[in-house]
Amino acid sequence: MASNRIDRISEMVGRELAEAIRQVKDPRVRGALVSVTHCEVTGDLRYAKCYISVLGTEEQQKEVMRGLKSASGWLRREVGQAVQLRYAPELVFTLDNSIVRGAHINEVVNRLEREGKMGSHESDGEEEA
C-alpha cells in the first residue's frame, strides 16, 4: 500500500518539477528543450531521483545539468510547495538519454525502410500468395 503512495508522489514530483523547470530563468536551462522523463522518490520521501532528458549536443546537456544543479534549491522549494509534503525531497538530477536513443533508432529504421532493406512488408505479401 505504501508503494502506491510512493508511486503517486513520484509522479506528482515529476509533474511539478517539469512545470517548475519551465519557469527557471537560468539561460543554460531556458535555451534548451528539457524534459523530465521519470522521478523516483525514496521510501522516506527525503530524496527524489529525477531523470532529465535534454535534446541537443553533449555540451548543451552538460550546461543544462549544471544550470539545474544551480537552481536545485529553488526547484526543491517550488516542488515542495506544490506537492505539500512535510519535507520537500532533495532533488537529484540524472541525465537520461533514452529519448535521444529512441529518436536515433527511429531514424535508422526509417532509413532502412526507404532503402528497402527492412523487407517486412514485402515478405508478408509473398507468404500470402
Beta pairing partners, 38? 51
8-24: per-residue pLDDT in tens?
999 999 999 999 999 88
Q: Cell for 106?
A: 527511429
Residues 53 and 91 in one domain: yes
Residues 37 and 60 in one domain: yes
The parent domain of residue 55 ranges over 2-96
113-127: per-residue pLDDT in tens?
888 877 655 444 444
> Which residue type occupies 9?
I
Give the chain's domain count: 2
Q: Cell for 72?
A: 536545485
What size, in residues, is the chain? 129
Residues 37 and 87 in one domain: yes
Q: Give this prediction's pTM.
A: 0.74
40-98: per-residue pLDDT in tens?
999 999 999 999 998 888 898 999 999 999 999 999 999 999 988 888 899 999 998 88
How far is 51 from 75, CA to CA, in rounded Å? 14
Q: Residue 50: CB partners within 8 Å, gap ≥ 6?
A: 13, 14, 17, 36, 38, 39, 91, 92, 93, 94
The pLDDT of residue 85 is: 86
* Other residues' Cβ atoms within 10 Å of the Cβ of residue 120: 8
Residues 18 and 78 in one domain: yes
The pLDDT of residue 129 is: 44
Residues 35 and 64 in one domain: yes
